[in-house]
Amino acid sequence: MTLTVDQLDTDVLIVGGGLAGLRAAIAAAEGGVRVMIACKRKAGRSGNTLVAEGGIAVGSPNVDPEDSIEQHVADTLASGKDLCDPILSRMLAENSEKEVFGLTRFGVVLGRDKSGNLLRGQPPGHTKRRSLRAESDHLPKNARGQSITIPLLKFAENLGVTLLDRTPILRLLSRDGAIESALAMDEEKERYLVIHAKAVIIAAGGAGQMFSLTNNTADITGDSYALALDAGADLRDMEFPQFYPNWGISPFRSTISSVMMGEGAVFRNKNQERFMPSYYPEAKDMATRDQTSLAIFQEVQAGRGVEGGVYLDASGVDREVLEVKFHHLTEAMRRLNLEFGKDPVIVTPVVHHYMGGISVNRHLESGVHGLFAAGEACGGTHGANRLSGNAFSECIVFGALSGAAATEYARGREMPRPAGKESIAAMLPSLAFQEEGPDIADLRREMREINWKKNGIIRTEESLLAG
């Protein structure tokens, strides 16, 4: 079958329709340029934003009277083992209050208690109660992120942003060190698209599905990094996947917010021993995600695990707090005729986030002129380990900043000229059918297993090279 090839053009093309991509689209559209979003699945209804717990870190005395931007920066750098890009970490902290509270103008509702006060939490690694969240109790537990993405999606559509759903970007093309166009596959209309753009923002998430154990959605397959690298951009810190220690595996499979640890939950091994103080006497169960994942891994390796994980004991969390802040979890347990905080819950670490990503400057621009990045696609903000809530803050803040920067860049550039037939032919992938050769599903399964074993919780230079 021969597919047709159509050509489109836009001022700013955004790759990815999650939180970062939608926020970037709004910023660019409000800047007065034409904006197009190309999403592998459906914008606002796919990707990791959809299933995330939704914590949003805001370092401000208006959230916690004892907090500050400086303290947020300090916590971020400490969690990242001082391997963060300090400029990016500061940009995140300095802009979080403005951009997070600015979500309300798009129709996002921040979670509040019965008295109308903001629901605040203190996840591990944070020294203050700076974690907020959107109101999402009305949504299924695997779609709570829509409490943010759907209002942003509607706002973007009202601004005239063009949406190309089920249209994965296959390649980004640059010329003379500047981005020029993208090759996409419109799956619904069964055609190729050559999209010419003055600027491109990559916001297609991370690479969790490159590992055999992950809580990432099926569409998070490293597209951001592959596209950027192929276009001539540099990547950084790709040896740093993050492992989330609170992935529930029994009696249900679900992310359990690490904010719960700040409310009094603790980890116990199969002997009901609280083991975290023996690994981290000061932080105890408030140790950072990388530290907690390592401790759980070591307990399991020592034979003190439970079904490949450990118990999460929430009996020390106030019942009202459980019902208000973690309502979806208490409801999930009730549906199984169990009670959260009394009946056992087993958790284990899985790949959750990628700290590595596209190397960018303070304008969130890569080494390829006109190619920007936002959200998990962007590397350097979190160093070797990310704090809870900083991912959503990064998507919101860097989405807004990259959208504004791409708009400014696009204003000063002419539209790349349409591609000729020969240029288009050179872009298209080979679709020749091969009767013999490796099975792609088997290769993918093997690659994911290798990544888990060689770039897992415990990794060395030797294991990374062997992988």
Confirm if 215 and 255 have CB atoms less than 8 A apart. Answer: yes
How many whole angstroms separate alpha carbon 130 and alpha carbon 389?
Answer: 9
Exactly one of 34, 45, 133, 289 is catalytic; which is it? 289
How many whole angstroms separate alpha carbon 361 and alpha carbon 379?
Answer: 10
One-letter amino acid for residue 256 of the chain: I
How many whole angstroms separate alpha carbon 231 and alpha carbon 238?
Answer: 17
Give, in degrees to the nearest 5, the angle at Cα 101 between 97 and 103.
130
Confirm if 311 and 345 have CB atoms less than 8 A apart. Answer: yes
Active site residue 304: no
Tell me the backbone φ, ψ of residue 278, rounded to 5 degrees: -75, -25
Please identify every residue annotated as catalytic: 289
